[in-house]
């Protein structure tokens, strides 16, 4: 008996295609039910056809009209923030669970190593951004030991790995990541910066986390280091190329440094500096595209957990179709 949950991927670009290959190669609980695009000549749709995955180039409307749509339990959206708003509205009446890889942030932010347990029954979860998936676990690792009045992250990715969707959503990237640093990471104030690195040959994803803390106790600093190392191992469990670039640095903040412009009235004594790199698994794109790999890996881990609940609660074919006909105007 097949107990896998069927999934659909909206978006046949770089992220959607890499995600499809991960589902096909790595998942014991998910099964590709449909690959959805808008360009009939896209490489993602062509590859899906070669893998015998049902396809449509008519977007979400084409997905809803596909034979077998009623068997889809989870839908990944790998399009854009603006498109996800429309896609989610069209799919809402059908009771599918959505995993949003855009910065739209309709549903709760999810970073698997940090807060997947709290959101495993959500029906639309947001995967933040590639920079968020890489750095928010570190902020959370610090904040579970001591308060973090301010945290700033810098995500540097190879320019060649930034497709049109990423480039069109730069503002949303910084805004969404900053919000999630606070909401998920636990910082009082968060800031995010993204750099598209044009270096040749392309460099793998590099991420830097700066956090201000107000605890001068060396034993607390040891706990912070240990917490970060534990968190890095947790993320590496589903993103094998995720690692510390060097040892964690905790340095005193000079008394005359104007940190009040960042941390407000909070007492700050030390800065925690964490340097990371993310090497991609090269399932679809080169290894330097770690920014794509961490997003698709995190989305896969999240969907596998959500599917456990979806399998128990997704309406049957007739129930879902009847509900949709009731809620969607003719």
Give the phi and the psi of residue 11 in degrees, each rounded to 5.
Answer: 115, 105
Portion of the chain with pLDDT greater than 70, in percent: 93
Asked if 5-126+291-327 and 130-288 have one fold, the answer is no
Mean pLDDT of 285-309: 95
On average, the pLDDT of the chain sits at 93
pLDDT digits (tens, 9 = 90+) for 171-221: 888 999 999 999 999 999 999 999 999 999 999 999 999 999 999 999 999
Give the lowest-confidence range in 25-29, 61-65, 172-176, 249-253. Answer: 172-176
Q: Could you tell me whether strands 30-36 and 5-10 are parallel, antiparallel, or unpaired per DSSP bridges?
A: parallel
What integer pLDDT is reported at residue 328 of this predicted model? 40
Looking at per-residue pLDDT, the higher value among 311 and 206 belongs to 206
Q: How confident is the model at residue 168 (pLDDT cuts 50, 70, 90)?
A: confident
**Token duo for residue 261:** 């412009």
Mean pLDDT of 29-54: 98
pLDDT at residue 239 is higher than 60: yes
What integer pLDDT is reported at residue 167 of this predicted model? 86
**Which residues have a Cβ under 8 Å from the Cβ of 249 and sit 6 or more positions away?**
272, 273, 274
Mean pLDDT of 117-145: 97
Count Cα atoms within 13 angstroms, Cβ side, for 170.
Answer: 12
Determine if the pTM surpasses 0.85.
Answer: yes
What integer pLDDT is reported at residue 325 of this predicted model? 39
pLDDT at residue 54 is higher than 50: yes
- Measured at the alpha carbon of residue 282, what is the angle toward residues 60 and 38, in degrees to the nearest 5? 20
Mean pLDDT of 151-174: 90
* Tokens 């190329």 sit on residue: 241
Q: How confident is the model at residue 163 (pLDDT cuts 50, 70, 90)?
A: confident
What integer pLDDT is reported at residue 311 of this predicted model? 63
Q: How confident is the model at residue 165 (pLDDT cuts 50, 70, 90)?
A: confident
Q: Which CATH class is domain 130-288?
A: alpha beta
In terms of CATH architecture, what is 5-126+291-327? 3-Layer(aba) Sandwich (3.40)
What integer pLDDT is reported at residue 238 of this predicted model? 98
pLDDT at residue 1 is higher than 60: no
Cα–Cα nearest to 300, from 320, 323, 281, 314: 281
Active site (annotated) includes residue 145:
no
Which among 7, 21, 110, 130 is annotated as catalytic?
A: 130
Give the residue extent of every domain in the chain: 5-126+291-327, 130-288
* 2 CB burial (10 A radius; 0-12, 13-18, 19+): exposed
pLDDT digits (tens, 9 = 90+) for 250-270: 999 999 999 999 999 999 999
pLDDT at residue 326 is higher than 70: no
pLDDT digits (tens, 9 = 90+) for 90-111: 999 999 999 999 988 899 999 9
3-state secondary structure of 101: coil
What integer pLDDT is reported at residue 29 of this predicted model? 97
pLDDT at residue 317 is higher than 60: no
Give the end-to-end CA distance of the chain in Å, rounded to a whole number: 37
Looking at per-residue pLDDT, the higher value among 180 and 330 belongs to 180
> Where would I find the H helices in the chain?
14-26, 43-50, 59-65, 81-91, 112-115, 130-143, 164-168, 170-183, 218-236, 260-263, 290-313, 317-327
């Amino acid at each position: 008996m097949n107990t896998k949950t069927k999934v659909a991927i909206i978006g046949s670009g770089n992220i959607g295609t890499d995600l499809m290959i991960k589902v096909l190669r790595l998942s014991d609980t998910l099964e590709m039910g449909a690959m959805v695009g808008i360009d009939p000549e896209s490489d993602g749709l062509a590859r899906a056809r070669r893998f015998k995955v049902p396809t449509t180039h008519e977007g979400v409307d084409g997905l809803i009209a596909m034979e077998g749509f009623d068997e889809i339990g989870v839908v990944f959206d790998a399009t854009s923030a603006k498109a996800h708003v429309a896609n989610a509205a069209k799919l809402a009446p059908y009771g599918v669970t959505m995993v949003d890889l855009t910065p739209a942030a309709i549903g709760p932010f999810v970073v698997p190593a940090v807060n997947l347990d709290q959101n495993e029954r959500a029906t639309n979860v947001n995967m933040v951004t590639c920079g968020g998936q890489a750095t928010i676990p570190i902020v959370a690792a610090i904040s579970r030991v001591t308060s973090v009045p301010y945290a700033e992250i810098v995500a540097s990715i190879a320019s060649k790995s930034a497709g049109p969707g990423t480039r069109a959503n730069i503002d949303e990237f910084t805004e969404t990541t900053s919000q999630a640093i606070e909401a998920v990471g636990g910082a009082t104030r968060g800031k995010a910066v993204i750099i598209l690195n044009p270096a040749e040959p392309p460099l793998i994803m590099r991420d830097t986390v700066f956090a201000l803390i107000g605890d001068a106790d060396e034993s607390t600093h040891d706990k912070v280091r240990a917490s970060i190392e534990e968190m890095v191992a947790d993320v590496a469990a589903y993103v094998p190329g995720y690692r510390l670039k060097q040892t964690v640095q905790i340095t005193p903040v000079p008394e005359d440094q104007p940190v009040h412009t960042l941390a407000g009235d909070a007492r700050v004594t030390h800065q925690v500096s964490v340097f990371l790199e993310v090497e991609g698994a090269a399932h679809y794109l080169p290894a330097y595209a770690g920014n794509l790999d961490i997003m698709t890996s995190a989305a896969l881990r999240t969907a596998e957990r959500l599917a456990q609940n979806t399998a128990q609660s997704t309406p049957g074919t007739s129930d879902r179709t009847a509900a949709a006909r009731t809620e969607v105007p003719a």
